[in-house]
Structure 1
Amino acid sequence: MHGTHPAHDHPHGDAALTVLPSALTLTALLAVGAAYLLAARRARRRNPALGWSGRRTAAFLTGLALLGLALLPPLGPAAHGDVRGHMAQHMLIGMYAPLALVLAAPVTLLLRTLPPARARRLTALLHRAPARLLGHPATALALSTGTLGALYFTPLYDAAMSTPAGHGLMNAHFLLSGCLFVHAVAGPDPAPARPGVPARLGFLGAAIAGHALIAQAMYGGFFVRVHAPVDQLRQAAEIMYYAGDLAELLLAAALVATWRSERRDRRPRGLRRLRPTGLSGLADAAGPAGAASGGAALG
């Protein structure tokens, strides 16, 4: 005797449950994109000579598009019941979208558009101990890669996926921890506690090794506490392994660009270019609000 699935009994109800969250998600993404575009326009109007990088704007919109791809149908609903869909969603939300969003330098843009007094307060906040701790690569590595072991090697994954709220919290964690790690390793925004490039390369190497070990354990079925068919687990592990490698390669490229920017900024002032190009260039940080709010935080 075959049981019936709720989706067969209430197709219109399930469709409504899918449409409403998708509409809210799309609205939120469009609102965030519009806010960034308005801020970029304001930054260009405040200082036409300095302007705002079109590459940064394109990066931010790309990051929002990747979030939309991960959260909206068909992948969004599929990720809730299929570990392969979950892993594809995890890669997009936790690795690819954060890379694009952070390279768009949203904090720098905010400093460029805030009134000087508020920009100074934000700069002071970035120098406080909690912000410095969160901005350190060790903390970001623990929150992004370190928590994956707890997710897949304990019942936490099944518990989180059992409710829409749990799934949403898990995705929020992926996004925030991913953004934090990209910022700590290669972000163009102010990061007073960020160590030198060799140290950041070490943390990036640790993240690469951690992802590889977790993917291999998942493929081999070692320690994994995810209730899913073996073939699905293996395919999810392959997605994590290969898609994760590509994302980390892109992050390494961003780190190299950061290193080149830092070397350029250490040259005598007269030898520096007025407006270095590239997503990792830090010249855009020196706007009217940023300069008034403390240039040391923006260097």
Structure 2
Amino acid sequence: QMILTVTTPNPEEPGLHEWVQAFIQSTTLKFLFHPAVNTIQFLTFFYVLYITPWYDLMVKEHAGHLIMNWVFLLSGYIYYWDMIGSDPKPRENTVLRRLAWLVFSMPVHLYFGVYLMQLSQILAEDFYRTLGLPWDIDLLHDQDVGGGIAWASGSFPLVVVFGALFLQWLKEDRNEAKAYDQRADDTEDEDLEAYNQMLARMNKNGS
């Protein structure tokens, strides 16, 4: 005979929802979602990993490739979560502020691809030479093409995000205008009465 027991969860114990809320409201995440911090981390990872000796170390190992992919994924996720994410955030920045930081970050982010295209030094040349590919390769040309791909692939999502934020700003502005008109309609009699009282006081003082 098998006896099944069902345990009722304790409502006082935190569940998954409470843990997620605690994580979202954590001090660390609030710090990362400051516009300046979030923008800097999004912009600097490319330069730090590619134009420093870190790239030579990372590219030689498969684990290094995985670490780079995860770093870029998490960095981009945090940045775009703040910019256009619909999920709850630890710090709610206004649309106008997010739009301003995006405009500021776009040239710096896109310059990375231009930098690769202008670079005369081949990154991690020793590693690529040891691959022993069976065809003739021009590493400098490949690097130049990679810089063009980086510039094009980086500009497209930023332009899309800029358009989304601009539409959000227009929608927010229209909602504020409607709310102002509604308040004006609701308080029209009060404003008119206050205006008439002010005129009456002026006439009384003048006489």
Confirm or deny a common fold (TM above 0.5).
Answer: yes
Q: Give the shorter-chain TM-score range.
A: 0.5 to 0.7
Of residues 153, 158, 164, the one that matches 1:254 is 164
Q: Quick one: structure 1 residues 203 and 137, their matched pair in 2 at CA, closer, same or farther if it must change by over 3 Å?
A: same
Alignment correspondent of 1:213: 111
Q: Calculate the TM-score normalised by the size of structure 1.
A: 0.46
Distance 1:239 1:173 in 2: 19
Alignment correspondent of 2:47: 149
Matches within 5 A, 1:256-295: 256-260=166-170, 262-263=172-173
Query: Bigger radius of gyration, 1 or 2?
Result: 2
Conserved? CA contact 1:219–1:238, under 8 Å: yes
Distance 1:245 1:178 in 2: 14
Q: Quick one: structure 1 residues 215 and 226, their matched pair in 2 at CA, closer, same or farther if it must change by over 3 Å?
A: farther
Structure 2 unaligned spans of 5+: 1-13, 129-138, 183-207
Conserved? CA contact 2:35–2:101, under 8 Å: yes
Alignment correspondent of 2:10: none
Alignment correspondent of 1:168: 66
Distance 1:140 1:223 in 2: 30
Question: 1:173, CA displacement in angstroms?
Answer: 0.7
Question: 1:117, CA displacement in angstroms?
Answer: 6.0
Higher relative contact order at CA 8 Å, sep ≥6: structure 1 or structure 2?
1
Of residues 195, 200, 215, the one that matches 2:98 is 200
Alignment correspondent of 2:200: none
Structure 1 unaligned spans of 5+: 1-115, 272-299
Distance 1:208 1:176 in 2: 19
User: How many positions carry a matched residue from both structures?
Assistant: 155
**Residue 128 of structure 1 pairs with residue 38 of structure 2:** no
Alignment correspondent of 2:155: 245
Of residues 222, 232, 250, the one that matches 2:142 is 232
Distance 2:79 2:113 in 1: 19
Conserved? CA contact 2:47–2:112, under 8 Å: yes
Identity %: 25
Partner of 1:191: helix, strand, or coil? Answer: coil
Partner of 1:131: helix, strand, or coil? Answer: helix
CA deviation vs aligned residue, 1:231-283 (integer Å, no higher than 9, x gap): 01110010011121111111112223443554577565xx9xxxxxxxxxxxx
